[in-house]
Amino acid sequence: MAFPKGFLWGGATAANQFEGGFAEGGKGVNSSDCTTRGSRTKLRTVTYKTPDGVIHEEPMFLLNAPEDAQFGVFPGYDYPSHQGIDFYHRFKEDIALFGEMGFKVFRLSMNWARIFPTGMEETPNEEGLKFYDQVFDELHKYGIKPLVTLSHYETPIGLANAWGSWTDARTIPCWERYVRTVGERYKGKVEYWLTFNEINIAAMSPWMSAGVGRRTPQIVADISKNQLIASAKAVLILHEIDPGNKVGNMVAYGANYPYTCNPADVLASKQAMHGYHFYEDVQARGYYPSYKLKEYEREGVSFSLTDEEAETLKKGTVDFLSFSYYMSSVTSTDPEILKNKADGNMGLGGIKNPYLKVSDWGWAIDPTGLRIALNELWERYQKPLFIVENSLGTQDVLEPDKTCHDQAHIDYLRSHIQAMEAAIEEDGVELWGYTPWGCIDLVSASTGEMHKRYGFIYVDYQDDGTGDGARYRKDSFYWWKKVIATNGEDLSD
Ligand code: BGP
């Protein structure tokens, strides 16, 4: 029995990719609502207006909007978050399906703008709070524990337009009000919390991760400082409200390999890992690591902490570490090798690994990398771990008889569960749970398309938003049900 009794099996989602209900229940507009649909070949864009009244759209990953840009939703653009997969109206049906699979835990994020429409109100929007009450109550009916991400790639647009969102420390008290409100409201209903989804992605897409329209080393450092302090404050607030609350961080993680045993490659790979570890170091240990402070000095980034801020970071360390794992990456110092760029989650692909197969989107498939990642995190922090995202994006086909033969998901998940098993059984890693990403098909974060499907449940929406949204059980649905029922003992087809 590798998996401990009470191991938390389930699935993961995010509000902006599945909730829909864009203009309902008094919800405000958030950053993801202003991000258009794309595809693997067409970049998603962000829309904004300049003071001269001109509307602009710019690729999300390259966004360099002027300081006076007013982000928003404009006629004639197609924004996939507005419909998502309509969980807002279909949550009872969806949760019943999760219950049928025997989920122990369900990861979802709360849409901050549903609770505080501009982010700046003094009092919350009761209708928004009621929506999540109903969702949590429904989950409890099936014995499913909610795992709530407080911020998953969406920031109220009011904060972005007022002062640049997370670049400005004035966002922190707004966040504290939000965290306190939901912590008090859902006391007894929610026990597992995550602060910021993939907090390290601020360096790749300040828009996606923080609702910020520009990227410079200084901007990324400011976002990170404000979010790290906000994360620590969330830990303190949630512990104060209920000492039984378990609060974790969340990082986009992956093993990184040197291309060769040339010490220069090995060093470069170690330095690439700093991009992940910096955030974990602060959130798990409570202080900035020396390599980051030295990097700021080298880059001329201004950075300092008041005594109070340092104390907040020190006290607000997380109870457990969570992460997404999709792929590993490779680093080289050889200019020729560096030309073999690989795709990967949020641009973290590095260069191609000749030993690994890749997904249809070019992400390297590497279960051993997951075992390495689990070991690294456990050795480094000695805190419980939670894999809150993992799976394979595939182009699933719904057959005329409404079945869906998604063997690739089963194969991918099985190999990764075997890696987890080895990490627990042979390496002694403490792992609390596993929530495969997009347990129900949803909108892709990087491309905004629908046909990159991760789920156990097929959702009949297509890339252009057409479809009736009907849900169908895929082959993996029945497989996942068996895996959960046997606590990971039976992984066979
Ligand atoms: C992570 C995000 C998720 C999710 C996932 C898969 O980075 O936390 O929101 O979408 O990646 O990525 P994609 O949707 O681009 O395939």
Q: Is residue 474 part of a domain?
A: yes
- Judge whether 121 counts as a catalytic residue: no
- CA dihedral in degrees (74, 80, 84, 86; nearest 10)? 60
Residue 380's CB is within 10 A of a number of other CB atoms, namely: 15
Domain count for the chain, please give it: 1
* Dist. CA 380–CA 386, nearest whole Å: 15
CATH of the domain at 139: 3.20.20.80
Residues 182-233 have pLDDT tens digits of: 999 999 999 999 999 999 999 999 999 999 999 999 999 999 999 999 999 9
Annotated active-site residue in 19, 154, 191, 198:
198
Q: Could you give the CA distance from residue 7 to residue 203 in angstroms, rounded to a whole number?
A: 33
Structural domain harbouring 260: 8-16+87-485
Residue 383 has what DSSP assignment? S
* 111 falls within a domain: yes
- Tell the residue nearest (CA) to atom 5 of ligand 1: 445
In a domain, 28, yes or no: no
**Is there a domain that residue 72 lies in?**
no
The pair of structure tokens assigned to 191 is 């026990």
Closest residue CA from atom 12 of ligand 1: 445
The pair of structure tokens assigned to 454 is 């991760």
Instruction: Examine residue 193 and state whether it is found in any structural domain, yes or no.
Output: yes
| pLDDT tens string 101-146 | 999 999 999 999 999 999 999 999 999 999 999 999 999 999 999 9
Place of tokens 């404050």: 233
pLDDT > 70: percent of the chain: 100
| 69 within a domain of the structure (yes/no) | no
Domain-embedded: residue 65: no
Nearest residue by C-alpha to atom 15 in ligand 1? 446
Q: Is residue 67 part of a domain?
A: no
The one catalytic residue among 138, 376, 389, 421: 389
Spatial separation of the C-alpha atoms in residues 468 and 85, rounded to whole Å: 10
pLDDT category of residue 40 using cuts at 50, 70 and 90: confident
Q: How far is the CA of 14 from the centre of ligand 1 (A)?
A: 9
CA angle (477 as vertex; 473, 482 as ends), nearest 5? 145
- 421 given a catalytic annotation: no
Cβ of 197 below 6 Å from ligand 1: yes
Q: What is the DSSP string of 317-366?
A: --SEEEEEE---EEE---TTGGGSB---GGG--BB--TT--B-TT--B--
pLDDT tops 90 at residue 349: no
Chain position carrying tokens 């378990």 = 246
Residue 304, pLDDT > 80, answer: yes
